[in-house]
Amino acid sequence: MNSRELGPLDRLLSGIDAGLRTIAAPGTRHIRPNPAEDIPDSALSRAEKAHAAGLMRVNHAGEVAAQGLYQGHASVARNKSTETQMLKAAEEELDHLGWCEQRLDELGEGPSRLRPIWYAGAFAIGAVSGILGDRWSLGFIEETERQVAEHLNGHLQKLPETDARSRAIVETMCAEEEVHGANAKLAGAAELPLPIRALMRLAAKVMTSAAYRF
């Protein structure tokens, strides 16, 4: 029997459902093994633990936003292959959410309390930009993943040297974000105008500052 083609309302409801699962689901959601599972935890000072938790909370917030962005793009994708690519990347990055949540729990902290805002805002951006066409959707994905990879590389410089568990997670996430960006480029991503790229960096800076604390 042929599967039913999803209409606009179905896609919107699917995005809302994905948002609820992204925000409320437990950290055990990941399917692939945690990159840090075989790495013994290290003794961190109170200040080091708080700093590492702040950085991992930022990384988690970024993954929540990534879910919103991918789901927003998928909800308006014109080409089925583009929709499939978006949803596949979103599914893979659910592992990132789980890994970050697990590490936050180990550090005695929780995810950002503002995560509903991160998801909703990113979903809206994804849907609005996707209306312009799949090439622009892919362009947003490519630029987002490029900026996220840069951001994660920066965190590797900021995490405590002895925090091997957090480092293993961030390194794996960074490598996979680069692959997702490369895939978007290969699929025909349009290069975003410089003002748009700058605005994306500004928005990311606001989210990073807020998520580190809240």
Report the C-alpha gap between 123 and 23 in whole angstroms.
Answer: 13
At the topology level, CATH places domain 47-213 in Ferritin (1.20.1260)
Query: What whole-number distance in Å separates Cα of residue 154 and Cα of residue 59?
Result: 11
Dihedrals φ, ψ of 94, to 5°?
-60, -30
Find the mean pLDDT for residues 150-177: 96
Domain map (residue ranges) of the chain? 47-213
Return the amino acid letter for 5.
E
Q: Are 32 and 95 in contact (CB under 8 A)?
A: yes
What confidence score (pLDDT) does residue 6 get? 52
Residue 158's closest CA among 50, 51, 41? 51
Contacts of 41 (CB under 8 A, 6+ apart): 106, 165
- The distance between the two most distant Cα atoms of the chain, rounded to a whole number of Å, is 59
Long-range contacts of 185-191 (CB under 8 A, 24+ apart): 185/138, 185/142, 187/81, 187/82, 187/85, 187/138, 188/134, 188/135, 188/138, 189/135, 189/138, 189/139, 189/141, 189/142, 190/135, 190/136, 190/138, 190/139, 191/139
Q: Which of 39-43, 44-48, 78-82 has the lowest mean pLDDT?
A: 78-82
- What does the angle CA 194 – CA 124 – CA 54 come to, to the nearest 5 degrees? 80
Could you say which DSSP state residue 38 is in? T
Token pair for residue 92? 């893979």
Task: Please report, for residues 77, 108, 113, the alpha-carbon distance to residue 72 in angstroms, rounded to integers and kept in the order given.
Answer: 9, 32, 21
Q: Can you say how many angstroms the Cα of residue 83 is from the centroid of all Cα atoms in its chain?
A: 17
Report the pLDDT averaged over residues 152-170: 96
pTM here is 0.85
Residue 32 carries which DSSP code? S
> What is the pLDDT at residue 48?
96
> Does pLDDT of 1 surpass 50?
no
Quick check: 19 pLDDT over 70? Answer: no
| Phi, psi dihedral angles at 173 (to 5 degrees) | -60, -45
